[in-house]
Amino acid sequence: MSKEQIEMLTKSLNEHSYKYYVLDEPKISDFEYDKMLRQLEELEQKFPEYALDNSPTKRVGGQVAKGFKKVTHEVMMMSLMDVFSFEELLLFDQRIKKELTDYDYVVERKIDGLSVSLEYENGQFIRGSTRGDGVVGEDITANLMTVKTVPLELFEKVPYLEVRGEVYLPKKDFLQLNEKQEILGEKIFANPRNAAAGSLRQLDSKITATRNLSVFVFNIQRIVGKELSTHSDSLEFLKKCGFRVSPGYYKCHTIEEAIEAINDIGESRGDFEFDIDGAVVKIENLSQRELLGATSKYPKWAAAYKYPAEQQETIINDIQIQIGRTGVLTPKAILKPVRIAGSTVSNATLHNMDYILEKDIRIGDSAIIQKAGDIIPEVVRILPEKRTGNEKKFIMPETCPVCGSHVEREEDMSAYRCTGIECPAQQFRSLVHFCSRDAMDIDGLGPALIEKFLNDKLIKTISDIYYLHEKRDILITMEGLGEKSIDNLISSIDHSRNNEISKLLFGFGIRHIGQRASKLLEEHFESIDDIEKASLETLMEINEFGEIMAKSVIDFFHNPQSHHLIEKLKLAGVNMMSRKFGNKPQGILDGRTVVLTGTLPELTRSEAQKLIEENGGKTSSSVSKNTDFVLAGDQAGSKLEKAVELGITIINEAQFRKMIGK
């Protein structure tokens, strides 16, 4: 019965996924889909021998890859010849006329993403790879399996099929991803294409699975067991197989009709859910394509028309400051509304003060605006010849417009940052970092729940976390929170009160003070109060501390908001004393120094380090005569060699676990 249940759920979920992601015609709610998916996951865990290769549970990602294998493309994944004017397109058509007398074109949107190959045997997805240099790409099968519009099993089965498609990130998901990246202090992507490429090349496919990538298939590279005569026939066949194919394509008999199609696409490109950077003109008949052939770089039967960026003139009415969730002050131009690429634009990012100075942007200037990648409005240039003398230069504020804290410019960087730890504009990012594993490690209090608590005004600042137990009656009424999960969360919060002060210091997010520096502070001072009282000279006496790090600590503890937060945490019972001066944990590794090297079978480096410290030991980054053990995994290098040379005891993960009783 279990086998039949798994087969039935797999088939049903795949059908609903196809209707939702490919046809955009959902037949059940997200809640119903998720409920069925959880049921399948539970059954597959109990009966793994019955799990199918095309199970939707495989779309969540798997183990972290050590690297990408190379793939040699049997059919070269060629690039296209770019043309930038209709005159060039007419020349392209004249070259076709020299070889063919009667022919048709197909015109498609040129989606701006990452080109990939998808391979199928007897209808089953077997491999996916990047274009690479056209001849050799990289095997990213695990990552492509997480893309919900990549069929894992085809409706129409042939012995072998290789298709080419474009993986992209929808515009709305691109903006949401960048917002999330900013919250977490991670890299901000310049455009959807970069975001899609970066997401597909993650070694951890679970990260790819969170990025909501999609794919359009636009060409058959190789096929066995099916004959097709035209490009439009191949697209219709691919639709029947279950692929999302290149949308809204035009069949044209002349180059003039093709140019009309390009204009139609160009006029509506601002309304597309995806970014395009042009339109592709292709010969429709597949045998005619073979006759025309290719150069060493691109096929002679296709050309890519690139649209110029649409630009408009407007007035910069004002320049205002936005506070990002990492505390960075970003100037924003408030514009006289103007329509560009299908939407009305009323503001544009000015990035930073250096950008404003470089372009000499002033309040009241006339300026040329365009959308970067057809999404993010930006100032291309100002028009100084239109100045009247009433324009005003912009000056970056010295205090945060939200909380009033001092604003500092980071050394050798263009960013200005608010220094207030309780600044409302930074709440979310500060809370996420404080609760993270490497900081206070509050299990269960992740970004989604923090955002929910903030929206419902259950917490405002870090210290409010330690009073959530008083709001248990409210928590129990919240959707998605059961009694057990609430009890686990409160228990995890209580446990964090007793953390080492190095975790608390790292949780504060002090500029230039990472995990290592936080541990050094814990080793040199008896309490948080002692660190607060320390002078610049005292801090600089710590080995590995420079003036920038020492000054950062001084600035943090001298900020009234920091003092207020620490006092509230003291009242909440959060530990403020260094274990080195009395409360140090005792264990089998008490007083021992351990060096980690290589990749361990199960433990991550941070997990192993935590276990060492919990058992009284400390870790070091280098091997010396003072090292007691070297914990070595796969691909251990020079540290292992030095340990052998010095006669230091070398242990593996199994021996380490036995030593600490795990």
Q: What is the DSSP string of 385-398?
A: GG--S--EE----S
Closest CA to 106 of 288, 302, 241: 302
CA dist., res. 638 & res. 625, Å (int): 15
Order of strands, sheet of 160-168, starting from the edge strand that comes earlier in the sequence: 124-130, 114-121, 160-168, 214-224
Structure tokens at 99: 């070889």
Closest CA to 284 of 321, 231, 325: 231
Structure tokens at 630: 């070297």
Q: Where are the beta strands (DSSP E) in 505-606?
A: 593-597
R_g over Cα of the chain: 30
CA dist., res. 80 & res. 384, Å (int): 39
Any residues with CB less than 8 A from the CB of 327 and at least 6 apart, and which?
417, 418, 419, 420, 423, 425, 426, 429
CA dist., res. 342 & res. 285, Å (int): 34
Q: Among residues 110, 148, 503, 639, which one is catalytic?
A: 110
Angstrom distances, CA of residue 465 to CA of 214, 298, 449, 508, 562: 38, 59, 12, 14, 16
Residues forming a β-bridge with 137: 71
Question: Is 580 known to be catalytic?
Answer: no
Chain centroid, CA 550 distance in Å: 32
Closest CA to 597 of 586, 588, 589, 605: 605
Region class of 469: left (phi > 0), else alpha (psi between -120 and 50), else beta: alpha
Sign of CA dihedral 591, 595, 596, 602: negative
CA dist., res. 593 & res. 646, Å (int): 15
Instruction: Say if residues 512 and 549 touch (Cβ distance below 8 Å).
Output: yes
Instruction: Say if residues 336 and 314 touch (Cβ distance below 8 Å).
Output: yes
Closest CA to 209 of 68, 67, 56: 56
Residues labelled catalytic? 110
